[in-house]
Amino acid sequence: MVGWSGRRKTLTILLFIAPTLIGILIFSVYPILYNTFISFTNRGMYRPNPDCTQTLTSIFEPSCWPMFRERAPKGLGQPYSLQTPFYGNYATLIGKLFTKESMVALLFILIALLPLWGARRLNQHYDRQLTRPVSSFVVWLGGLVGVALLAWVLKLPAQIAVLMKAGDFFVVTIRTILYVAVCIPLFFIVGLALALILNSSNLRGRTAFRVIMIVPWAASTVAIMMSLVWQFFFREQGTINQLLKLVGIQGPAWLNNPTLAFAVIVLANVWYTYPFFMTVILGALQSIPPEQYEAAEVDGANWWDKLTKITLPLLRPAVLPATVLSSITTFQMFGTVWAITQGRPSMGAGAPGATELVMVYAYKQIFQTNAYGRMGAYAVIMFVFLFLATLYSLRVTRITKGAYE
């Protein structure tokens, strides 16, 4: 900006940013620090109260601060204290990962994913060449086939089963990763198919269809309610089974079957999210110059060639950020799953249910077993994981640029 610097500039910028900064510091940063502190304590159902004579507690615990002291809970039970060793909660959650079998299983799983990394590198290599012998789509397909082959050779399901034995933490995390891995391609495929159809110029009622397809997005803002409707569809006496009965089929108890219940929450989530993908893809499609297709047609390309060699590569810059960011939100999915299954069906006493994704598991642990300390540790681990994912997404999407760059 023209001719302003020094103290006046600093003051102005502070004036602009201070409200946001203060709000974030008090109500976001402090709770995170506080949570990290709790994660090192044994706070829980039988030890809910703070002991304000301990130095650390008196610093972190808000009800120990002088101005709030009169509201400090004075219930029965012993006060909580730091764990010995201090990382006890973390050890309970992920300690069993550091055994020989688990490490071997983890290693095998990582090896099985190597072809995807290879495909990425190969694509980057081809991108730098003038011509590419095969399209990036084929390379990715090859990577997936490689993963499938390695998964078969290395007995991947058995390895995952070993890893899941290392604790509930791994059961729910692996299940959530599976959930994301199933959901994201479906979002993309449904969104892409509809966007391609709605983008064809000679379609009647294009605007109307576009508005209709957006409806689930609007409904997703009250996700918990629409999810209750979805739950109703798939009840044992629900709509779907009523329809099946009409054609003479005895429908299954969808939400009592682990696999089917999982499929139901995938379906509901696809319903909520495909309009978002469709909107993003439509926007990107409109920026592809039609001459590219005309030129390809002159060269005798069929629609498949045009799709894989022109459309998909050109969609990438728009779809990638959407994919990364929806992966993060899908990973944190709570309301939909909670309303439809509450994590059920049960997989045995004490084990997390078949649809207990990480956030559902955390919610249950917090409010049904009051395991605050352990869940604090869980939150910290998830935070680190999601933090890294966010940084990666920033690298991919490059959205930190300002107006001047």
Partner 1 sequence: MRRSTPGVKILQYVILAAATIFALYPVWFAVLASGRAGGRLYTFNLVGMFIPVEWTWENYRVMLLGGQPFLQWMRNSLFVAGVTTVACIVVATSAAFAFSRFRFKGREAGLIFLLAIQAFPGVLALVPQAQLLTAIGLYKNPWGLVIAYTSFTLVFCTWNLKGYFDTIPIDLEEAGMIDGCGPVQSFLLIGLPLARPALAVTGLFAFMTGWGEYALASVIIPAPDSAKTLMVGMYKIANEINIPWGYFAAGAVMVIIPVLLVFLYLQRYLESGLTLGGVKG
Angle, helix 136-153 to helix 312-331, in steps of 10 degrees: 40
Among residues 352, 186, 384, 351, which one has the least CA distance to residue 278? Answer: 186
Q: Is 298 in the site for partner 1 (CB under 8 A)?
A: no
CB of 136 to partner 1, least distance (A): 21
Distance separating alpha carbons of residues 24 and 226, to the nearest angstrom = 31
Residues within window 359-378 making contact with partner 1, judged by CB under 8 A: 359, 362-363, 366-367, 372, 375-376, 378
Residue 168 has a CB neighbour count (10 Å cut-off) of: 17
User: With respect to partner 1, which residue has the nearer C-beta, 129 or 201?
Assistant: 201
Separation CA 315–CA 287 (nearest Å): 9
How far apart CA 306 and CA 273 sit, in angstroms, is 26
Minimal distance, residue 348 CB to partner 1, in Å? 24
Tell me the torsion sign for CA atoms 96, 99, 105, 107: positive
Q: How far is the CB of 47 from partner 1 (least distance, A)?
A: 14
Question: Least distance (Å) from partner 1 to the CB of residue 125?
Answer: 28
Which of residues 143 and 191 has its CB atom nearest to partner 1 in the complex?
191
Distance CA(47)–CA(36), nearest Å, equals: 17
Look at residue 346 and give its three-state secondary structure.
coil
Identify the CA nearest to 331 among candidates 165, 175, 144, 116: 175
Q: Is 283 in the site for partner 1 (CB under 8 A)?
A: yes
Residue in 239, 257, 308, 346 binding partner 1, rule: CB under 8 A? 239
For position 31 contacting partner 1 by CB under 8 A, the verdict is: yes
Q: Considering CB under 8 A, how many residues would be counted as binding partner 1?
A: 116
User: Rule CB under 8 A: which of 152-191 touch partner 1?
Assistant: 190
Q: Give which of 226, 310, 301, 240 is closest to 271, Cα–Cα.
A: 226
Q: Is 32 in the site for partner 1 (CB under 8 A)?
A: yes
Q: With CB under 8 A as the contact rule, which of the stretches 33-41, 96-104, 125-133, 155-163 interacts with partner 1?
A: 33-41
Q: Which of 76, 130, 211, 349 binds partner 1 (CB under 8 A)?
A: 211
Please report how close the Cβ of residue 12 comes to partner 1 at its closest, in angstroms.
5
Q: How far apart are the first and last CA of the chain?
A: 14
209 is a site residue for partner 1 (CB under 8 A)? yes
Q: Judged by CB under 8 A, does residue 228 bind partner 1?
A: yes
392 binds partner 1 (CB under 8 A): no
In the chain, the amino acid numbered 116 is L
Among 82, 253, 325, 347, binds partner 1 (CB under 8 A): 325
Nearest to partner 1 of 62, 313 (CB atom): 62
Query: Does position 280 bind partner 1 by CB under 8 A?
Result: yes
CA distance linking residue 241 with residue 256, whole number of Å: 14
For partner 1, the binding residue among 153, 229, 249, 351 (CB under 8 A) is: 229
Instruction: Give the residue, chosen from 216, 343, 352, 353, that forms a contact with partner 1 under the rule CB under 8 A.
Output: 216
Distance, CA of 61 to CA of 390 (rounded, Å): 29
Contact at 8 Å (CB) between 191 and 281?
A: yes
Token couple for 4: 């302003």
Among 7, 15, 131, 250, binds partner 1 (CB under 8 A): 15
Distance of CA 264 to the CA centre of its chain: 17
**76 is an interface residue for partner 1 by CB under 8 A:** no
Least separation, in Å, of the C-beta of 79 and partner 1? 14
Q: How far apart are CA 316 and CA 313, in angstroms?
A: 5
